[in-house]
Amino acid sequence: MNLMIIGTGLIGGSFALALQEGRSNIRVTGVDKDKEHLQQALDQGIIHRSGTLEDVKEMDLVILAVPVNVAPTLLKQVLDRTTENTLVMDMGSTKEKLCRSVANHPRRKNFLAAHPIAGTEFSGPSAAFAHLYRNKKMVLCEVEKTDENLLQDALEMFEELGLEIRHMHPEEHDRHLAYVSHLSHISSFMLGNTVLEKEQDERNILDLAGSGFESTVRLAKSSPDMWVPILEQNREPVLEALDLYIMHLQDFRKSLEQEQYQDLYQDMKRANVLKPLLGKEPIEIKTTKNLQP
């Protein structure tokens, strides 16, 4: 199998590693505008050689794992170079604009719009690992527009990697993700900035921040290079989610100011509904100890 990953970071790199783990006859070509990442990916065995878009015609599978603002143009360039048997997949966090951008492309059926619900707050080839996708969900959009045989191959591959499939309309995907993922990131980034503004002494953050703060602010370590384009592409739904979030915070603030403790209690109790929906084990956090003298 000839695989090309465009973008050799966490998402593309982990996909390549996972496929290599299960298959012996696989040759991975990496494309990345970051030469350092390319070299790292080679060193780590994520890719076997570096290539260019001109190599697309020799590929069975091309994975696009790049920031979502770069994806539409790049996807067109890739599709232009496919043969009938090339499957092209993206793995971006927004789907509507990308799907619309290739709606009328003569090779639309070679494309599968995918979004694996997996990731960590780290990025680059050094963050990639083979088991990132195991037991995770994979959202697919507009599968009816993908060639049936290519889709079948993709589904088998996802099963091999331990991914569970969920189907969604691109617009529906983006609207849900605004709440369930994009808003979490903003809340985390802003929490980080609030604490950093107030706590000038880093030692107070290190010493007093329990694992609670650490998990809440975890996403504030994410890369703005990836996140600005996501927020830009999903601007309307994210603004709506942000407004609702600010409203909830203002209501809570008002109850606290007016000492309406029964209201605060109800508000918090309501959120407890999430308990059975999410993990039942405490989150294990590997804290970095003794950073300070």
Site for a second copy in 126-165 (CB under 8 A): 127, 135-137, 139
| AA letter at 33 | K
Task: Pick between residue 22 and residue 210 the one whose CB is nearest to a second copy.
Answer: 210
Contact stretch for a second copy (CB under 8 A) within 15-23, 42-50, 74-82, 252-260: 252-260
Q: Are 128 and 44 in contact (CB under 8 A)?
A: yes
Q: Are 167 and 158 in contact (CB under 8 A)?
A: no
Q: Per CB under 8 A, does 103 bind a second copy?
A: no
CB of 258 to a second copy, least distance (A): 11
DSSP type of residue 278: S
Structure tokens belonging to residue 147: 């060639």
* 184-223: contacts with a second copy (CB under 8 A): 184-199, 202, 204-223
Which residues are CB-contacts of 191 (< 8 A; sequence separation ≥ 6)? 216, 217, 220
Contact stretch for a second copy (CB under 8 A) within 12-20, 28-36, 77-85, 243-251: 243-251
Q: Per CB under 8 A, does 105 bind a second copy?
A: no
Q: Per CB under 8 A, does 73 bind a second copy?
A: no
Task: Pick between residue 5 and residue 183 the one whose CB is nearest to a second copy.
Answer: 183
Give the DSSP H/E element, type plus range, for residue 290. Answer: none
Q: Per CB under 8 A, does 282 bind a second copy?
A: yes
Question: How many chain residues bind a second copy (CB under 8 A)?
Answer: 104
Q: Per CB under 8 A, does 26 bind a second copy?
A: no
- Cβ burial of 293 (10 Å; 0-12, 13-18, 19+) is exposed
Task: Pick between residue 100 and residue 253 the one whose CB is nearest to a second copy.
Answer: 253
Which residues are CB-contacts of 165 (< 8 A; sequence separation ≥ 6)? 137, 138, 140, 155, 158
- The count of C-alpha atoms lying within 13 angstroms of the C-alpha of 204, restricted to the half-sphere facing its C-beta, is 7
Contact stretch for a second copy (CB under 8 A) within 43-51, 75-83, 94-102, 173-181: 173-181
Instruction: Quote the CA–CA distance of 218 and 214 in Å, as a whole number.
Output: 6
